[in-house]
Amino acid sequence: MVATTGSATRDGWSSRSAFILAAVGAAVGLGNLVRFPAEAANNGGGAFVLFYIACIVLIGLPVLLAETLIGRHGQASAVESVEKMAAESGASKMWGGIASLGVLSAFMILAFYCVIGGWVLSYIWLFVEDLFVSGVTGGALTGMTEENIKNLFPALLEQGFTMSVLDLLFIAITVAFVARGVSGGIEKASVWLMPAFFLLLLGITIYGAFEGAFAETIAYLFVFDFSKLTGEVMLAAVGQAFFSLSLGVAGMMTYGSYVSRDVNLAKTSATIAFADTSVALIAGLCIFPIVLAAGLSSDGGLGLMFDVLPHAFQSMPFGTVIGLAFFIMVGFAALTSSISLMEVPTAWAIDRFGFARAPTALAIAALAAVLGVLSAYSFNSLSSFHPLGFIPLFEGEGVFSALDSVTAKLFMPIGALLVSIFVGWVASRQLIDNENGLSGGMHQFWVFLVRWLCPVALTAILIVGIFPSIVGAE
Ligand code: TRP
């Protein structure tokens, strides 16, 4: 189904399930695979999981529906869609600024996300090489000493040039899909990669259930420790819910704009949120049996994936094959996310300037590559270059971590906050009612959440992000 506006035919998803796969592909990424399991384990297990699910349902899902409906109504890139809805509601076109901020954030996230994508490529290569050394049946990385393995990640971070090349490679793979358009490129990636991702995730999880410390994992992840659920942890959970659903950067508006009119957005958003949350939970059940069986632990962060896991695969039967499958799976998840991130500025530039798609996508890719290379070198040669060092909040951060912090602490919460205010308070009720696929009590409840709960929660995240000392998080 190709959505049509006026006489011009616009590219779009070929079916509802194509949209679901693409949006789930955007949502499922490094956030689900690395951050969620580590946070759950460290912050009260089942208590955190329950609270996180509440955040997804009560705060994330309402904003997801708000974003997709803005896009679907506008049938244009994010900025134009918001401008259109504002104009039709008698509000200022300045509201388009929400989406402009989103376009900028998506571009900034793209720049550092692809650097991590490059690391994933380097680990895929590591395990491919290891097949020749360790063989298939034994553990992984048998030719390496413990010291070597501990050093893998720090050594990679020292190699600015290698990381730059891998970053460029990951960007090149991303742009190869984005340049081919929505139904011809982005959708194709999602339709092939997401099912493959799910199979790999289930396969490795089942392997872990037999070979790893599964029972221990259940106790580790799902023990209910409500005492660890502090204000700081709760806000981290809300932030994680937003990052995981890819909200606040106009991404879901952009993807929503390719949805045809007959799709029920409320049901579809619920499906997307359900799939994303399931993957986060299963990721915990996939990773920790392997990590705990090796007697390792992690305080979270990227080290869990790039330091602890390779180590854990060493002592597992078929460790090399599983390790390879694992990093290929992570690569698929990261790729469908980076595609969504690149599509946001690409769609914006196509709409705004009337450029053709392929050269636009290439230009965005080139710009992201410049920031990506600076990010890669920010771990080594450029480690003392702090572009935002004059702002106390970002003091001491290199290019990579500044891109992450500015978007996570400021731009994403501001973007999502403004979206909920716009949809809850500014946009015309009737426009929204026609678009959201809800009726009766559910509709009232959604309006309440978007008007009250979401803005309050997002304001809290924003304040604590800017003044961490309020919750003693410094
Ligand atoms: N949601 C993805 C993850 O969990 C990351 C991501 C993709 C994202 N697109 C986004 C985050 C847009 C914010 C906005 O890793």
pLDDT digits (tens, 9 = 90+) for 171-223: 999 999 999 999 999 999 999 999 999 999 999 999 999 999 999 999 888 88
Rounded distance from Cα 246 to ligand 1 centre (Å) = 4
C-alpha distances out from residue 127 to 36, 41, 79, Å: 25, 27, 43
In what helix (H) or strand (E) does residue 52 lie, and over which residues does it extend? helix 46-55
pTM to 2 decimals? Answer: 0.94
Atom of ligand 1 nearest to the CA of 30: 15
Rounded distance from Cα 110 to ligand 1 centre (Å) = 9
How confident is the model at residue 37, as a pLDDT? 87
Q: Give pLDDT tens digits for 286-310.
A: 999 999 999 887 776 788 889 899 9
- The protein residue whose alpha carbon is closest to atom 11 in ligand 1 is 246
Rounded distance from Cα 165 to ligand 1 centre (Å) = 23
Q: State the first-to-last Cα distance of the chain, in angstroms, to the nearest integer.
A: 51
| Mean pLDDT calculated for residue range 275-280 | 97
3 has pLDDT over 60: no
Atom of ligand 1 nearest to the CA of 248: 14
70 has pLDDT over 90: yes
DSSP string of 433-460, one letter each residue? HHHS---HHHHHHHHHIIIIIHHHHHHH
- For the chain, give the number of residues: 474
Measured from the CB, is residue 30 less than 6 Å from ligand 1? yes
Q: Tally Cβ neighbours within 10 Å of residue 150.
A: 14
Mutate to test the pocket of ligand 1, among 113, 330, 337 (most ligand atoms within 8 A of CB): 337
Which residues neighbour 428 within 8 Å (Cβ) at sequence distance 6 or greater?
A: 88, 89, 90
Measured from the CB, is residue 27 less than 6 Å from ligand 1? yes
For 112-121, 252-261, 431-440, 452-461, which range has the lowest pLDDT when averaged over its residues?
Answer: 431-440
Which residues neighbour 448 within 8 Å (Cβ) at sequence distance 6 or greater?
A: none
- The dihedral over CA atoms of 351, 352, 358, 363, expressed in degrees to the nearest 10, equals -150
Confidence tier at 8 by pLDDT (50, 70, 90): low
Rounded distance from Cα 113 to ligand 1 centre (Å) = 9
For 33-42, 201-210, 283-292, 384-393, which range has the lowest pLDDT when averaged over its residues?
Answer: 33-42
When comparing pLDDT for 402 and 233, which is higher?
402
Give the percent of the chain with pLDDT over 90.
77
7 has pLDDT over 90: no
Atom of ligand 1 nearest to the CA of 29: 15
Beta-bridge mates of residue 45: 224
Mutate to test the pocket of ligand 1, among 63, 109, 305, 461 (most ligand atoms within 8 A of CB): 109
How confident is the model at residue 248, as a pLDDT? 94
Rounded distance from Cα 337 to ligand 1 centre (Å) = 6
Atom of ligand 1 nearest to the CA of 344: 12
For residue 104 the two structure tokens come to: 């900028």
- The protein residue whose alpha carbon is closest to atom 14 in ligand 1 is 246
How confident is the model at residue 231, as a pLDDT? 84
Confidence tier at 471 by pLDDT (50, 70, 90): low
CA–CA gap between residue 22 and residue 272 (Å, rounded): 10
440 has pLDDT over 80: yes
What is the chain's percent helix, strand, coil content, to nearest 5? 75, 0, 20
Average pLDDT of the chain is 93
* Phi (first) and psi of residue 26, to 5 degrees: -70, -40
Measured from the CB, is residue 34 less than 6 Å from ligand 1? no
CA–CA gap between residue 129 and residue 47 (Å, rounded): 41
365 has pLDDT over 90: yes
Measured from the CB, is residue 26 less than 6 Å from ligand 1? yes
Mutate to test the pocket of ligand 1, among 246, 276, 279, 343 (most ligand atoms within 8 A of CB): 246
244 has pLDDT over 60: yes
Measured from the CB, is residue 63 less than 6 Å from ligand 1? no
How confident is the model at residue 2, as a pLDDT? 46
Among candidates 196, 246, 183, 244, which has minimal Cα distance to 18? 183
Q: Give pLDDT tens digits for 76-89.
A: 999 999 999 999 99
Measured from the CB, is residue 244 less than 6 Å from ligand 1? yes
18 has pLDDT over 60: yes
